[in-house]
Structure 1
Amino acid sequence: MAKYLIPALALAATFGAHAAPAKQPAQPKLVLVMAVDGLPQEQVTRYRHQFAQGGFRRLLEQGAWFSNAHQAHGITVTAVGHAAILSGAYPYQHGIIGNNWVNPVNGGSMYCTEDTAHKYLNNEKTDPHDGTSPANLRVDTLGDQLRYATGQQSKVITVSGKDRGAILLGGKTGTAYMYMEESGNFSSSTFYMQEHPQWVQKYQAGKPQERYYGVKWKPLLADSAYAGDYGDAPNLQLASDSGKTDAAYYKKLKASPFLDELTVEFAQAAIEGENLGKNPAGVPDLLGVSFSAHDLANHEHGPESKVSHDHLLRLDRMLANFFSYLDKRIGMDNVLVVLTADHGFPNTPEFSSGVQKTGAQRVDSKKLVEDLNAHLNAKFGLEKGLRAQSIPNLHLDYAQIDAKGLKREEVENAAARFILAQNGVADVFTRTQMENGGNGGGTRIATLMRRAWNRQISGDLMVVLKPHWIFGFSSGKGTTHGAPYAYDTNVPLIVMGKPWVKSGHYGQYAEVVDIAPTLAHLLNVRPPAGAEGRVLTEALK
């Protein structure tokens, strides 16, 4: 990378013999990008006083912490958020509009990272909709640009408990490893290689996932530390009916904080196996780590729960150990660290309604679709006027509408008016509005939804519920995310690296899409093609 620096003699000739060039800090040897799945900024602030030394506390005190940072798109789910982190792009460009969406070719379901041309290695079970490649990602990433700029000498490795977490961080030219629910291994796919390298084989042979069998997840701290939280304390027994390690056990393991322990352990094996941070070509490497278990805890219990609280405290201690390892292995002054999240989380509707007095409820999406179809049939004679749905996207049967000589816009508007009259619905955006640049009065919500809409694959109607209301979960337990409101968009964004970053608490508005251009600026490489974020210059030395 030194070839990009202006020689000192040239500076002297230009500015005079006495002008001393500003000293350029050495580039990081390792860029570590971490995403905590489903971590709202609010939880970092609320539990800050209980963080130990070395984990989140180290990031907050030694890093540049943007507390007003947002995943600035409308459909705030795992795949969309992970795609934004290192592409710097919004969904209308990067093409990842949800975890799943409607396949425009056959009307079936499309999973964000599915690719039937590839399968998992080592005979791991691969279903048609399993995530095996970044084929659906329509843009490049920071890792792709780094590898291009260094003649493919920089290594880009990503690991996650979820396939989409690893694959979408890894971009087109990185190498992704993901947790296998059937075996408890971390595996890659044939998109990346035909056989695991020796270090992965050695790691798998050690079977670290077996050591948690029979372990019970209990609270880390005394009961008084969780005062004010809701629900029961963690009480998960990691075992199975068979009495041995099997698929049932590995799925339980995925829902525990021990999944994140395994993720860190595998990341450390990758650092040593690939010699990350000690690249013989003298160029930076990139390691992406996505922690998946917090999302599962919040889904099941809500961010107001004792379970979610305890999980975050455990993750804090894991980060402290990870940073200590990096200190010894590479030296943290050689590591540029980013921590963010793919989305936040709302409280459970029962908590929101009962404690916060919001009146929030759950909306039955299946009933909404059935009622809308009945309305379109009665008004226009359409038989199943909705041909498919992947909430919040609804797809109209335009072929049937055209065959009946109806105007598409008229049907869209009638459908939108019907949906708007339903309990809990705040807004509906139609295809005609989106294609004609309609902005819903210029509201921020409308801007976020437009960013989330992709002309080729998004729905003909996009539904936005009122704040704190959620789709589904008719059991009355748990919660979900995906809204354009602050509780789902406001996520932590922390950049740490003493040679490059000015530590401090920054209240300026920032977006997750700012990460990629900021890293590109520090690494002297092109930003990814779809990047629309800004360089966070206020936090850079």
Structure 2
Amino acid sequence: MPTAFRPRRLTMSTLSILLLAGAASFAPLAGAAAPAAAKPAGAATAAAAKPKLVVVMVIDGLPSEQVQRYRDQFGPGGLRRLLEQGASFSNAHQAHGVTVTAIGHTAVLSGAYPYRHGIIGNNWLDADGNSVYCTEDKRFTYIGEETDAHDGTSPANLRVDTLGDQLRYATGNRSKVLTVSGKDRGAILLAGKTGTAYMFMDKTGDFASSTYYMQQHPAWVERFQAGKPQDRYYAKSWKPLLAEAAYADDAPYPEATTKSPNRFPFTFYSESGKPDADYYGRLKTSPAVDELTLDFAQAAVEGEQLGSNPSGATDILGISLSGHDYVNHAYGPESRMSHDHLQQIDRRIATFFDFLDRRIGMDNVLVVLTADHGFSNTPEFSQSRHIDAQRIDPKPLLEGLDKALATRFGAAGLVRKSMLPEVYLDYAAIDKRGLARADVENAAARHLLAQPHIAQVFTRTQLEQGVAATSRLGLLMQRAWNRQMSGDLMVVPSAYSFFGSGTSGTTHGTPYNYDSSVPLLIMGKRWIRPGDVGQYTEVVDIAPTLAHILRVRAPAAAEGRVLVEALR
């Protein structure tokens, strides 16, 4: 059982220890620092053989509970293989307070929290109030593709290194680190500073890299693109994989909207009558984008000879499957569409493992599977279960805040901008009127806390002094807050509510368990002991654990621990 958390007041020195301890704040004390058991004869030989290939898989937007709920329906070779032949951590978490794609992917191989690695969201505001996308870099463009101003093209905003960077450093760049994803941020933030990222192009359905990594694609990528595998789905349909009875416990179909039809089969088409950007966009909210991603991963293994490195160095292949996130946003994790989508992913992962077995031999491969975040149920589903869940429209909330501060301090416009959960105050205007910053922050927090469905507000003063980290919720928000980049208020909605002005679908991004709890499965016959592990674990533990197995230095900002309970 995890050690109970006992809130206490923190000095700045205590806060530094707490933040640097990372997962140790909540990890069980029993066994965590126990001396290693004596190794049987011959174990040293097994330990000496490092993996030829490390495969790091991230299923975007996959709550841990879905893996457990549907595990009896999985086929034999995919997720079930990982569950039965690997270490399965049922209490693993993305342990920061803003659970979104960019932050979650960064945690996997950096082992760091946002306050250190600098990726504080998918988007944030700079000092001038301009929107910044997490992987944008106007110095670089996609290769052979249109590139918009805020497209993701490099890891320039990532302030730390990753496991892949350390591996390439240790092997004199002989190790290859290659990543692929349906989202640019999913690939780029796994690849780190020195790996190579490929991402799905919304307008063409191709996978492409950027000029940060190279000036021209290698021949194997050009061959893959020439085959146009993305066009094979045109006029075909996504249909349920299992018998009707298998979906009996799913929520009823949600109300349909123009953008989100709600019943199987889902047909892939475009208004133009041929494959185009409209059609390629439809592929993303389906198993097709994940199948294409794994097809590209297989081509990369062959084209780059991953796992067959002539130098004998270990290679890393990062795969981020984006479709589940799109499906859950549209329909909710309780839906039949989400349920079936995970089954489809499972079967395609099994095919990928079969390929690796033939190509490299799975005894030579170490596999890690996790997720960047979980998901909230749709508010309508939560309300049907008598939970007071709401979509909180940011516009009236922030307008009311600005008006309240104007009334209190006699000055309008003290709220500069917002990208919830972060609110940016206009400190220049506050200073000009001779107001105390802490007074304005506290007044803003009191007003917001008086609004429906707002659970907690942390101010810049609290976060700078470390007093927020006296509770678990506060510590998670503290980890998510970066002194130079983050807002002046961090606003936490009540459980099962979230910020959004839409009328359908759902999202993620809070510190609550349904958003933070993710699967963590590690399989590798020579290195990992199979079994279920209920001990509290964090995604930031992955990088130190892999560094230990690969016998390389852990990333500089990593704060996780080595998962010794899973090691042979």
Q: TM-score, normalised by structure 1?
A: 0.95
The residue type paired with residue 411 of structure 1 is V
Q: 1:157 aligns with which of 170, 178, 191?
A: 178
Which residue does the alignment assign to 2:196? Answer: 175
Which residue does the alignment assign to 1:397? Answer: 426
Alignment partner of 1:354 is 2:384: yes
Which residue does the alignment assign to 1:88? Answer: 111
Which residue does the alignment assign to 1:249? Answer: 279
Residues 368-389 of structure 1: CA deviation (Å, up to 9, x unaligned): 1111111111211232211111
Which residue does the alignment assign to 1:3? Answer: none
Could you list the runs of 5+ residues in structure 2 that have no partner in the other structure?
1-40, 254-261
Which residue does the alignment assign to 1:16? Answer: none
Q: 1:110 aligns with which of 117, 123, 132?
A: 132
Aligned equivalents of 1:473, 1:521: Cα separation in 2:
45
Alpha-carbon deviation of 1:473? 4.1
Contact 1:144 1:171 in 2 (8 A): yes
The residue type paired with residue 122 of structure 2 is N
Which residue does the alignment assign to 1:454? Answer: 482
Alignment partner of 1:365 is 2:386: no
Aligned equivalents of 2:42, 2:492: Cα separation in 1:
57
Aligned equivalents of 2:398, 2:527: Cα separation in 1:
52
Matches within 5 A, 1:260-299: 260-299=290-329
Which residue does the alignment assign to 2:491? Answer: 463
Larger displacement relative to structure 2 (67-76 or 380-389): 380-389
Residues 455-488 of structure 1: CA deviation (Å, up to 9, x unaligned): 011000000011101111431x110000101000
Aligned pairs, number: 518
Alpha-carbon deviation of 1:335? 0.2
Q: 1:517 aligns with which of 526, 544, 550?
A: 544
Contact 1:473 1:479 in 2 (8 A): no
Aligned equivalents of 1:425, 1:234: Cα separation in 2:
37
Which residue does the alignment assign to 1:22? Answer: 44
Which residue does the alignment assign to 1:436? Answer: 465
The residue type paired with residue 126 of structure 1 is T
Matches within 5 A, 1:30-109: 30-104=53-127, 106-109=128-131
Matches within 5 A, 1:377-416: 377-416=406-445
Contact 2:113 2:480 in 1 (8 A): yes
Which residue does the alignment assign to 1:4? Answer: none
Q: 2:363 aligns with which of 330, 333, 349?
A: 333
Aligned equivalents of 1:49, 1:72: Cα separation in 2:
28
The residue type paired with residue 127 of structure 1 is D
Identity of aligned residues (%): 64
Which residue does the alignment assign to 1:6? Answer: none
Aligned equivalents of 1:22, 1:223: Cα separation in 2:
51
Alpha-carbon deviation of 1:20? 8.4
Alpha-carbon deviation of 1:142? 0.2
Contact 2:46 2:526 in 1 (8 A): no
Which residue does the alignment assign to 1:501? Answer: 528
Aligned equivalents of 2:169, 2:518: Cα separation in 1:
30
Which residue does the alignment assign to 2:343? Answer: 313
Larger displacement relative to structure 2 (226-235 or 508-517): 226-235
Aligned equivalents of 2:414, 2:319: Cα separation in 1:
43
Residues 160-213 of structure 1: CA deviation (Å, up to 9, x unaligned): 000000000000000000000000000000100000011101110111111111
Which residue does the alignment assign to 1:119? Answer: 141
Aligned equivalents of 1:362, 1:296: Cα separation in 2:
18
Contact 1:80 1:96 in 2 (8 A): yes
Could you list the runs of 5+ residues in structure 1 that have no partner in the other structure?
1-18
Alpha-carbon deviation of 1:536? 0.3
Aligned equivalents of 1:400, 1:467: Cα separation in 2:
34
Aligned equivalents of 1:60, 1:112: Cα separation in 2:
33
Alpha-carbon deviation of 1:233? 4.0
Residues 429-456 of structure 1: CA deviation (Å, up to 9, x unaligned): 000001111126x110000000000001
The residue type paired with residue 69 of structure 1 is A
Aligned equivalents of 1:233, 1:53: Cα separation in 2:
28
Alpha-carbon deviation of 1:284? 0.3
Contact 1:234 1:306 in 2 (8 A): no
Contact 2:374 2:515 in 1 (8 A): yes
SS of the residue 1:299 aligns to:
helix
Alpha-carbon deviation of 1:223? 1.3
Q: TM-score, normalised by structure 2?
A: 0.90
Residues 328-383 of structure 1: CA deviation (Å, up to 9, x unaligned): 0000000000000000011111111212x111111111111111111111211232
Aligned equivalents of 1:215, 1:500: Cα separation in 2:
42
Aligned equivalents of 1:225, 1:21: Cα separation in 2:
44
Matches within 5 A, 1:198-213: 198-213=219-234
The residue type paired with residue 502 of structure 1 is R
Task: Provide the alpha-carbon RMSD of the alignment.
Answer: 1.1
Which residue does the alignment assign to 2:502? Answer: 474
Aligned equivalents of 2:514, 2:304: Cα separation in 1:
38
The residue type paired with residue 98 of structure 1 is G
Aligned equivalents of 1:192, 1:431: Cα separation in 2:
37
Aligned equivalents of 2:42, 2:528: Cα separation in 1:
23
Which residue does the alignment assign to 2:216? Answer: 195
Given the superposition, is the C-alpha separation of residues 43 and 21 from structure 1 closer, same or farther in structure 2, using an over 3 Å criterion? closer
Contact 2:458 2:468 in 1 (8 A): no
Aligned equivalents of 1:234, 1:275: Cα separation in 2:
39
Aligned equivalents of 1:327, 1:281: Cα separation in 2:
21
SS of the residue 2:467 aligns to:
coil
